Amino acid sequence: MARTVLITGGAGFIGSHLADELLEAGDTVKAYDSLASQVHGPDAQRPDYLDDEVELIVGDVRDERRLQRSLEGVDVVVHLAAAVGVGQSMYEVARYTDVNSVGTATLLDLLARRPVGKLLVASSMSIYGEGIYRTPEGELVPGPERSLAQLKRGQWDLTDGRGRPLTPVPTPEDKACTLPSVYALTKYDTERLALVVGRAYDIPTVALRFFNAYGPRQALSNPYTGVLAIFAARLLNNRPPLINEDGRQRRDFVSVHDVARACRLALDADRADGMALNVGSGRSFTVCEVAERLGTALGRSRIAPEITGNYRAGDIRHCFADISRARELLGYEPQVSFEAGLEELADWLDRQAAEDRVEAARAELHARGLAI
């Protein structure tokens, strides 16, 4: 049965791909988006990639009156709107808290007065902090926070109380959240606020914890966006990707097409209502390996990544997804391999121009003592 779906942040990277997915399924889609200059550039125009069938309402998620008007006739809400960036969140504390936490609360106030048939909210793998690790005895333990003294020594990997190495393993949803950054805290706010209000007002609600999404339409000139887009901005300007620590930290990179499909599955099913689920690829790669593969895909393999040995406040060592819950409850199965996803990304990047703002962002963090 066709629905009218409102996507906050619907003109953005994930939102626009989800709009395509829902339109193909026969839904009517409305996008509510502020067209923030950091993401969309200074002109704030409707992006060319947004399907003509999508009704775009330009507005801030904290603007209660405008948001209320956008909810008219809506059956389902997908809340993606957020300020995104671990590093920037550590020095724009008020803005991130306002946009992400207060913006979510503003939406929920409206939904409490006029409930919808389903609410889906975007959470983040960042809320975990460190992932899950296996001790030499085989016990699974949450990764301990690394001390500043350890990081200054360049001792990147995690060890147990006896100094023995811990081995990272896929992180499930029942891992306790440790919230190492302001961004992580606000995404946890988003997730928990939605699940609490959804339960209180009988709104079926699902939170999806996205891991590192990548693909076409990512904002290439935003130095606080996904790591692949940041690396691409450097490579397109014939500069080496800059990698913190030793480059061996492991992450889960998931195609935006798989993320959009997971969202649709969560909207269509009811087995995950009231729950939070990981959305990742189920694979992990080192950050250095990812930079090298992207360089090769772009025909710039001669530009080797630069390992800086630096550390940024809020960063963690390893975290990648256990996706068994999404498989079981949603029937979710990643369909885009990392190899195929990189090929698609490289093809899109060949037609793009990017302003490299990475050095300025790094200088800002260093000036504030947020990077060493």
Average pLDDT over residues 146-150: 88
At 159 the pLDDT is: 95
Q: What is the pLDDT of residue 1?
A: 72
Give the pLDDT confidence score for residue 224 in this predicted structure.
84
- Give the model's pLDDT for residue 245: 97
Could you report the per-residue pLDDT of 88-115, keeping only the tens digit for each? Answer: 999 999 999 999 999 999 999 999 999 9
pLDDT for 356: 87
Reported as a single tens digit per residue, the pLDDT across 22-39 is 999 999 999 999 999 999
- 225 pLDDT more than 90: no
Q: What percent of the chain has pLDDT over 90?
A: 90
pLDDT digit string (tens) for 240-261? 999 999 999 999 999 999 999 9
The pTM of this model reads: 0.97
Identify the pLDDT of residue 307.
97
User: Quick one: pLDDT band at residue 2, thresholds 50, 70, 90?
Assistant: confident
Q: Is the pLDDT of residue 185 over 90?
A: yes
pLDDT, residue 61, reads 98
Res. 269 pLDDT band, cuts 50 70 90: very high
- For the ranges 44-53, 118-127, 143-152, 184-193, which has the lowest average pLDDT? 143-152
> Which of these, 13, 48, 54, 49, lies nearest to 32 by C-alpha position?
54
Out of 107-111, 114-118, 157-161, least confident range: 157-161
Task: Report the topology of domain 4-367.
Answer: Rossmann fold (3.40.50)
DSSP assignment of 252-277 equals -EEEHHHHHHHHHHHHH-STTTTEEE
Band of the pLDDT at 223, cuts 50, 70, 90? confident
Three-state SS for 27-83 is CEEEEEECCCHHHHCCCCCCCCCCCCCCEEEECCCCCHHHHHHHCCCCCEEEECCCC
Kindly tell me if the per-residue pLDDT of 12 is higher than 90.
yes
Q: CA quadruple 86, 88, 94, 96: dihedral positive or negative? A: negative
Nearest by Cα to 356 from 251, 240, 253: 240
Residue 18 in this model has a pLDDT that exceeds 80? yes
Q: What value does the mean pLDDT of the chain take?
A: 96
**What is the percent of the chain with per-residue pLDDT over 70, rounded to a whole number?**
100
Amino acid 172: pLDDT: 98
Closest by CA to 188, choosing from 122, 234, 117, 264, is 122
41, pLDDT greater than 90: no
pLDDT reported for residue 144? 93
